[in-house]
Chain A
Amino acid sequence: MKLAVPIFLAVVLISGASAQDSRFIHGVVHDADSHQALEGANVVVRGTFLGAATDKNGAFRISGLSGGRYTVVISMVGYEPFLLENVEPTLPDAAPLEIMLRSVPIETEQIVVTASRRAQNAREVPVSISVITASTLAARNIITMNEALRYVPGVNMLQDQVNIRGSSGYSRGVGSRVLLLLDGLPFLTGDTGEIQWETLPVGEVERIEIVKGAGSALYGSSALGGVINVLTRPIPDGPSFKFRMFSGLYGKPPYEEWRWSEKPRFTSGVVAGYGDRIGSLQYLVSVGRTVDESHKENDTYHRWTVFTKAQYDLSEESRLSMVFNMLRRKHGNYFWWRSLREATAPADIQRNGSVESTRGNLSVGFRQTINERLFYVVKGMYFGNFWRDDSAGHVNNVSASHIFQGDMQVTYGISDNNILTVGIAGNLDQVRSNLFGDHKGYGFAAYVQEEIRLHKDLHATAGVRYDVQKASVLSAEGRLSPKLGLTLAISEATTLRGSLGSGFRYPSIGELFVSSSTNVSQLIILPNVNLRPETSVTAELGVSARVTNFLDLDGAVFWNEFRDLIEPSVKIKSIRLPTDTVESDRAVVEFENVTKARIQGAEVGVKISWWERILTTDIGYTVLWPEDVAQGTILKFRPRHILQTSATWIMGDLKCSADYRFISRVDQIDDQLVALAPIVHGQYRVPIHVVDLRGSAALRAWGIPLQIGLHVNNALNYQYVELVGNLAAPRVFSISIEGSF
Chain B
Amino acid sequence: MKIIFLLSFAFLLLSCDGGLTLPPDVEPGIAGTMTVTGPWPPEDSVKTLWLFASQIFPIDSAKVVTGILDGKIVVYPSLTTSLPYNVSPQPFQMALPPSRYLYIGVLQRHGDFPFEATSYSVVGVLWDEENPSQPRTVTVHDFEVVSGISIQVDFYNLPPQPF
In Å, the complex CA distance between A111 and B8 comes to 32
**CA separation between A660 and B97, bound complex, in Å?**
33
Interface segment out of the listed A3-11, A180-188, A716-724: A716-724
Nearest CB of chain B from residue A620's CB, rounded to whole Å: 13
Say yes or no: is B71 at the interface (Cβ < 8 Å to chain A). Answer: yes
B126 to chain A, nearest CB (A): 22
Can you give 7 A-B contacts (C-beta < 8 A)? Answer: A254-B18, A341-B23, A522-B80, A574-B113, A585-B80, A689-B15, A716-B16
Q: In whole angstroms, what is the CA distance A717 to B21 when docked? A: 12
Number of interface residues of B (CB under 8 A): 24
A572 touches B79 (CB 8 A): yes
Task: Indicate if B68 sits at the interface (CB-CB under 8 A).
Answer: yes
Interface pair A718/B22, CB less than 8 Å apart: no
Contact with B along A668-681 (1 / 0, CB 8 A): 00011011101001
Return the contact of B114 from the options A585, A660, A720 (Cβ within 8 A): A585
Q: Is A605 an interface residue (CB 8 A)?
A: no
Is A425 part of the contact surface with B, judged by Cβ < 8 Å?
no
In the assembled complex, the CB of B67 is this many whole angstroms from the nearest CB of chain A, namely: 11
In the bound complex, CA of A585 to CA of B119 (Å): 13
A720 / chain B contacts, CB cutoff of 8 Å = 19-20
**Is A587 positioned at the interface, with any CB of B under 8 Å from its CB?**
yes
Say whether B10 faces chain A, with CB atoms less than 8 Å apart: no
- Taking a contact as CB atoms under 8 Å apart, the answer to whether B20 and A727 are in contact is yes
Give the 7 A-B residue pairs with the shortest CB-CB distance, closest first. Answer: A719-B19, A671-B71, A719-B20, A718-B19, A689-B16, A720-B19, A340-B23
**A341 in contact with B114 given A585-B80, A662-B15 (CB within 8 Å):** no
Residues of A within 8 A of B (CB): 254-255, 257, 339-341, 343, 522, 570-572, 574, 585-587, 608, 610, 645, 660, 662, 671-672, 674-676, 678, 681, 683-687, 689, 691, 716-721, 727
Q: How far is the CA of A574 from the CA of B8 in the complex (A)?
A: 54
| In the complex, chain B residues whose CB is within 8 Å of the CB of A717 | 18
Please tell me which one of the listed residues B8, B25, B113 contacts residue A645 in the complex, with CB atoms under 8 A apart.
B8
In the bound complex, do residue B19 and residue A689 qualify as a contact, i.e. CB atoms below 8 Å apart?
yes
Given contacts A343-B20, A585-B80, A675-B69, 12 further A-B contacts (CB under 8 A): A255-B21, A255-B22, A340-B22, A341-B25, A572-B79, A585-B114, A660-B8, A681-B23, A684-B23, A689-B16, A719-B20, A719-B21
Interchain CB contact under 8 A, B20 and A684 = yes
Tell me if B3 counts as interface (CB < 8 A to partner A).
Answer: no
B15 contacts across to A, CB distance below 8 A: 662, 687, 689
| Contact status of A608 and B19, CB under 8 A, knowing A571-B69, A671-B71 | no
Q: Name which of B19, B22, B48, B68 has the most chain A CB atoms within 10 A of its CB.
A: B19
* Interchain CB contact under 8 A, A574 and B114: yes
A672:B69 contact, CB within 8 angstroms: yes
CA distance in complex: A675, B68 (Å): 9
CB neighbours (8 Å) of B6 from chain A are: none
Q: Which of A572, A676, A678, A689 lies in contact with B12, CB distance below 8 A?
A: A689
Q: How far is the CA of A671 from the CA of B8 in the complex (A)?
A: 34
Contact A671 B22 (CB under 8 A): no
Contact check, B69 vs A257: say whether CB atoms are below 8 A apart. no
Enumerate chain A residues within 8 angstroms of B115, measured Cβ to Cβ.
574
The minimal Cβ–Cβ distance linking B25 to chain A, given in whole angstroms, is 8
Nearest CB in chain A to that of B97: its residue: A683
Q: What are the interface flags for B20-34 relative to A under an 8 Å C-beta threshold, 1 for contact and 0 otherwise? A: 111101000000000
B70 within 8 A of A: yes
Q: Which residues of A contact B20 (CB under 8 A)?
A: 340, 343, 684-686, 719-721, 727
* Separation of A257 and B78 alpha carbons in the complex (Å): 27
Q: Which residue of B lies closest to A671 (CB)?
A: B71
| Residues in A neighbouring B113, C-beta threshold 8 A | 574
In whole angstroms, how far apart are the Cα atoms of A687 and B16 in the complex? 9
